[in-house]
Structure 1
Amino acid sequence: MAPPLLAIAVATGILMVPALWNGSVLFYWDSVDYVYLPFTGELPMYRTMPYGVFTGIGRLAGTLWAVAAAQAFLVAYMLHEALTAFAPRPAWRLLPPLVLLLSVVTALPWRAGQIMPDVFTGMAILGIASLSFERGRLSRLRRAGIAAVTAGAIAMHTTHIAVAAGLVVALAGLGWLLRRRWPDLKPRIGLAAATVAMGISLVVGIHWVTVGRPFITQPAAMLMLARLVQDGIAKRFLDDHCPAGSPYRLCRFRASLPKTANSFLWEGNTIPNRLGGWKAMEGEATEIITESLEEYPLLHIETAARLTAEQALMFRTGDGMVRDVGWLINDTLRRYYPDGYREFKESQQNAGIDFKTMNGVHVTVQAAAQILLLGVLVVAWRRRDRLSFGLAVAILLTLLGNAFVCGALSNPNDRYQNRIAWLAVMVVAVGAARLRRSDEVSPTHGLAAGVGTS
């Protein structure tokens, strides 16, 4: 077996360790929809179909282990290609130790073994960074492979489209701002932008084929309304607009609105359900959001900034990987994956996994890595190391963009930032390797032998 293929295979095996230890693939509350979608094709109005198509791998293979294995392989492949684009040594040499490091100090392998689209977020970002900043390190065929996987990763979740498109726009703006101070830095965003467009086209095409109508995302006003409920903006709006004769049905519940978005949407006999369901409430939710934006713009801006900051600091491992998901997913597993049901019943997750000790390491290391990420930027700027700077700035922009998309436009959860926090650790590791290699080649300057200028 060729060294790169062997390295990818080893990395895939390392990424599978948490799921193998668990005795079952890992589940989140939302996993249930992605388990049954390949069998029923019944798309809930708060989901999109592409990841449901991907989990069809499980239906074809007769086991959800095939989904986890495919995810682990794709992560290993994208890491290998990113190392080829950015690292100073052969990627196959660096891949296994890097994946081992990430498996110890981040949640990456837990994401790879979970039936959720979250593992694809980091893949999409690595793909865009590689396509934007590699310059002659990857063949045309390998760039095409990265673009294909990246487009698929972008399609897996609506937030991926927003984060990826925002990153491409931000990188284009950065290249324009630094066009005179650092002309060689300019990212080549043509293929990256085309890849985002391909991802969006995939979403539209998959929905056209599977649902019968082309769309990118389903109406999401209810999700935003839930965030306004959590932040108190909805309560203020209803207090201002609910005299006798108000057209808003939500006025009936203005004195008893839940404290959290999740309670408003999911817990018990929810207010939306009592008012006819999500579809029946979508129009009213849109009106409340639109009018509140017009009436309280500063409040919305302040709230969005606060939530973005909160989300940026929330990245604990284990969010939603709890035994309680069993009541939601057991019947679905029993019906479609009987062996998977038995595995889950005997799994560590169903017994209850204690992530406290693990998070003592994960949170500390990932927080330190995000601080060191700024150091990588400074050192790379001074040494004119275009690759280190490009990778670091892409990940920094992603961390901020993801915090805004998930925190301000939805509501903060550890799961959202945890899915990409491992990227900061990777950048610091690659930056350290490039710095060390530069020093080995030339103690006096990091530009020797093209290491700093590649």
Structure 2
Amino acid sequence: MRSTGPAGRAAGWLAAWGWYGLAGLACLALLAINDGPLFYFDTGGYLAQGRSMFNVLGLLPGSSTAPGAAETAHAISADGTVVASRSATYALFLMGLYQTLGLGAVPMVQSALLILSVYLAVRVIARLHAPGLDVPRTTALAVLAGCLGAAPFYTAYLMPDIFAPVLILSAALLAVAAPALRGWELLLTLGLGIFAVTTHPSHAGIATLMVPAAAVLGALFRIRRFWIGVALIALIALAAAAERAAFSLTVKSVARADVTYKPFLTARLIEDGPGWAYLTETCPDPGLESCALREAIDGQPQRMYASDILYSTDEAHGSLARMPLEQQKRIAAEQARFAELVVKSHPFGVAAAVLRNSARQLVHISVAMTLPVDEMGARVAALTGYLPAALAHARLTEIPAWLGWLDAAHGALYLASAAALAALTALPGSALPAALRVLALMVVAGIVANAGICGALSQPADRYGARVLFLLPLTAALLWIVSRRRRVVDAFGSREG
């Protein structure tokens, strides 16, 4: 019998925080192995943007002369525009922690937010579907299962990718339990979801696709008042649009500049084929700014890649980035119209490309892109004008010998976890109620949505696949523990009856 006196409560608190501490240590494994956070070249872009925003808002002492003040000027192009393809939310998050606690604190905060999202799901499941479930232990074991996959690489990564799984977990919980959440649980879950969705443009697409998934699954499995969860997930998706609008308004009113975006859709459609076919058929057309790309690319295979279209400035590979800034702005402003024209002209070609790229994204599972290889430190310094001390001693600056077998182990783990989830949710005699089956299916829907958004609209990349696939072992472990607990409760209930 468990003691309920002061000593028993103290032991319970120690045990609980011991489990949470174990989960936290697992999440920080790569921080220790690398002797600092993992980072990408665009970490420098977020730091530069964050410093620019802090300077504009007067949050840095001596803004006009502070180190990095030049970034404020360079954030605004010569034509008076700000490229807003990076998240202002994550830039402020990263710079805020850098200025207050140092970059070494970022993996700790990111780990804490991931653990919090799992904890919220576990405590609600325990209350509604598994009385007596040990919440701290179950939370920790689920997180540890995720850490057997890619989780510790992304909690230590100074990029917003870890918030894609946080978003998916938050949306999945709202889909199955929104009406039953207590006030503070609802506020925390919504807060996590809204913060996560604003940390990267791709997260808005994931949230948007999870809205119909929640509606269909809620109706099929007859989840009680499922429409509340659907509405709240839609609210999270709308928060991304609100963040973009607020950023644009701030730039226009404070920095007196216009906001523009890179024409990712245009570049993607050209690389996939339908966009190039449309340009070949239509151009020259004075009413279509994107025809300038037809001439610049000139059918050269090495210029067809989306990343080269958007960023390359050398003569052999460059096209868009070599054009005058005003022309780049016009092509970027036209990308939604261009995409619509291409879809109408080549619907089957676009559909095939979307399916092909989504499928390719699902099998991109390596954590290689989280490692600071290829002179990543120098590339960060080129964007910021300095290399933060926390990044200067990175150990994983070359592809390690163990990466190949680790990727293979992760692949086997994800396949086994997918099979376990299928067995837990689909086989006859499952101990899981409909709501928990929907939870699992919502996580899978989020993973598929991630593949569709990142693979089809951006480009298939290991970084985007591995960031969410660790949710498979995490969710499988969680639901297996819950299933065992429910069987125990049912067995004791039957004996008592």
Q: Report the TM range for the smaller structure's normalisation.
A: 0.7 to 0.9
Are 1:15 and 2:33 an aligned pair?
no
Partner of 1:335: 386
Partner of 2:114: 75
Partner of 1:134: 177
Structure 1 pair 13/333, CA: closer, same or farther in 2 (3 Å)?
farther
Deviates more, 1:353-362 or 1:15-24: 353-362
Q: State whether residues 150 and 410 of structure 2, in contact with CA within 8 Å, keep that contact through their aligned partners in structure 1.
A: yes
Partner of 2:43: 31
Are 1:169 and 2:219 an aligned pair?
no
Q: State whether residues 38 and 372 of structure 2, in contact with CA within 8 Å, keep that contact through their aligned partners in structure 1.
A: no
Partner of 1:256: 300
How far, CA to CA, are the matches of 1:426 and 1:212 in structure 2?
44
Partner of 2:267: 226
Structure 1 pair 428/380, CA: closer, same or farther in 2 (3 Å)?
farther
Partner of 2:363: 313
Give the Å deviation of 1:32: 1.5
What is the one-letter code of the residue matched to 1:60?
Answer: Q
Give the Å deviation of 1:122: 0.7
Q: State whether residues 8 and 73 of structure 1, in contact with CA within 8 Å, keep that contact through their aligned partners in structure 2.
A: no
Q: Residue 272 of structure 1: which of 320, 323, 329 is its match?
A: 320
How far, CA to CA, are the matches of 1:428 and 1:103 in structure 2?
13
Q: Which runs of 5+ in 2 are unaligned?
A: 1-9, 54-74, 76-81
Q: State whether residues 417 and 472 of structure 2, in contact with CA within 8 Å, keep that contact through their aligned partners in structure 1.
A: yes
Give the Å deviation of 1:123: 0.7
Give the secondary structure class of the aligned counterpart of 1:409. Answer: helix
Q: Residue 64 of structure 1: which of 98, 103, 106 is its match?
A: 103
Are 1:428 and 2:473 an aligned pair?
no
Q: RMSD value over aligned CA atoms?
A: 3.2
| Superposed CA offset, 1:96-124 (max 9, x none) | 333233222x1111101111110011111
How far, CA to CA, are the matches of 2:18 and 2:87 in structure 1?
35
How far, CA to CA, are the matches of 2:459 and 2:168 in structure 1?
22
How far, CA to CA, are the matches of 1:368 and 1:304 in structure 2?
27
Q: Residue 187 of structure 2: which of 140, 144, 151 is its match?
A: 144
Q: Residue 374 of structure 1: which of 422, 426, 435 is its match?
A: 422
Deviates more, 1:76-85 or 1:185-194: 185-194
Partner of 1:452: none
Partner of 1:97: 141
Q: State whether residues 333 and 340 of structure 1, in contact with CA within 8 Å, keep that contact through their aligned partners in structure 2.
A: no
Structure 1 pair 437/244, CA: closer, same or farther in 2 (3 Å)?
closer
Give the number of aligned pairs.
Answer: 438
Q: State whether residues 46 and 90 of structure 2, in contact with CA within 8 Å, keep that contact through their aligned partners in structure 1.
A: yes
| Superposed CA offset, 1:57-95 (max 9, x none) | 333225211222211111111111122123542221123
Structure 1 pair 444/335, CA: closer, same or farther in 2 (3 Å)?
same
| Superposed CA offset, 1:291-334 (max 9, x none) | 22221112111211222222222222222524112331134566
Structure 1 pair 430/380, CA: closer, same or farther in 2 (3 Å)?
farther
What is the one-letter code of the residue matched to 2:210?
Answer: L
| Superposed CA offset, 1:346-368 (max 9, x none) | x2222443421211111211133
Using structure 1 for the length normalisation, give the TM-score. 0.85
Partner of 1:349: 396
Q: State whether residues 133 and 187 of structure 1, in contact with CA within 8 Å, keep that contact through their aligned partners in structure 2.
A: no
Give the secondary structure class of the aligned counterpart of 1:315. Answer: coil
Q: Residue 151 of structure 2: which of 108, 123, 126 is its match?
A: 108
Q: Find the structure with the greater CA-based Rg.
A: 2
Give the secondary structure class of the aligned counterpart of 2:464. Answer: helix
Give the secondary structure class of the aligned counterpart of 1:27. Answer: coil
Q: State whether residues 313 and 321 of structure 2, in contact with CA within 8 Å, keep that contact through their aligned partners in structure 1.
A: no
What is the one-letter code of the residue matched to 1:131?
Answer: L
Q: Which runs of 5+ in 1 are unaligned?
A: 450-454
Structure 1 pair 47/183, CA: closer, same or farther in 2 (3 Å)?
closer
Are 1:281 and 2:331 an aligned pair?
yes
| Superposed CA offset, 1:110-162 (max 9, x none) | 10111111001111111122233237875322221222122111111122122
Q: State whether residues 248 and 259 of structure 2, in contact with CA within 8 Å, keep that contact through their aligned partners in structure 1.
A: no
Report 1:386-401 matches (<5 A).
386-401=434-449
Q: Residue 84 of structure 1: which of 108, 111, 123 is its match?
A: 123
Partner of 1:292: 342
Give the secondary structure class of the aligned counterpart of 1:166. Answer: helix
Give the secondary structure class of the aligned counterpart of 1:30. Answer: helix
Q: State whether residues 455 and 461 of structure 2, in contact with CA within 8 Å, keep that contact through their aligned partners in structure 1.
A: yes
Partner of 1:153: 196
What is the one-letter code of the residue matched to 2:390?
Answer: G
Give the Å deviation of 1:428: 1.1
| Superposed CA offset, 1:190-243 (max 9, x none) | 4444444445434543554466489xx965562112212321223322332346
Give the secondary structure class of the aligned counterpart of 2:36. Answer: coil
How far, CA to CA, are the matches of 1:433 and 1:137 in structure 2?
21
| Superposed CA offset, 1:410-440 (max 9, x none) | 2211211211111111121122112222332
Using structure 2 for the length normalisation, give the TM-score. 0.79
What is the one-letter code of the residue matched to 1:264?
Answer: I
How far, CA to CA, are the matches of 2:52 and 2:418 in structure 1?
42
Give the secondary structure class of the aligned counterpart of 1:348. Answer: coil
What is the one-letter code of the residue matched to 1:134?
Answer: A
Q: Residue 92 of structure 2: which of 38, 53, 56 is its match?
A: 53
Structure 1 pair 158/267, CA: closer, same or farther in 2 (3 Å)?
same
How far, CA to CA, are the matches of 1:448 and 1:221 in structure 2?
65
What is the one-letter code of the residue matched to 1:10?
Answer: L
Are 1:124 and 2:167 an aligned pair?
yes
Q: State whether residues 111 and 155 of structure 2, in contact with CA within 8 Å, keep that contact through their aligned partners in structure 1.
A: yes
Give the secondary structure class of the aligned counterpart of 2:386. Answer: helix
How far, CA to CA, are the matches of 1:159 and 1:213 in structure 2?
26
What is the one-letter code of the residue matched to 2:396?
Answer: Q
How far, CA to CA, are the matches of 1:251 and 1:184 in structure 2?
53
Partner of 1:362: 410
Q: Residue 352 of structure 2: which of 302, 309, 334 is its match?
A: 302
Q: State whether residues 226 and 264 of structure 1, in contact with CA within 8 Å, keep that contact through their aligned partners in structure 2.
A: yes
Q: State whether residues 48 and 218 of structure 1, in contact with CA within 8 Å, keep that contact through their aligned partners in structure 2.
A: no
Q: State whether residues 207 and 213 of structure 1, in contact with CA within 8 Å, keep that contact through their aligned partners in structure 2.
A: no
Structure 1 pair 265/191, CA: closer, same or farther in 2 (3 Å)?
closer
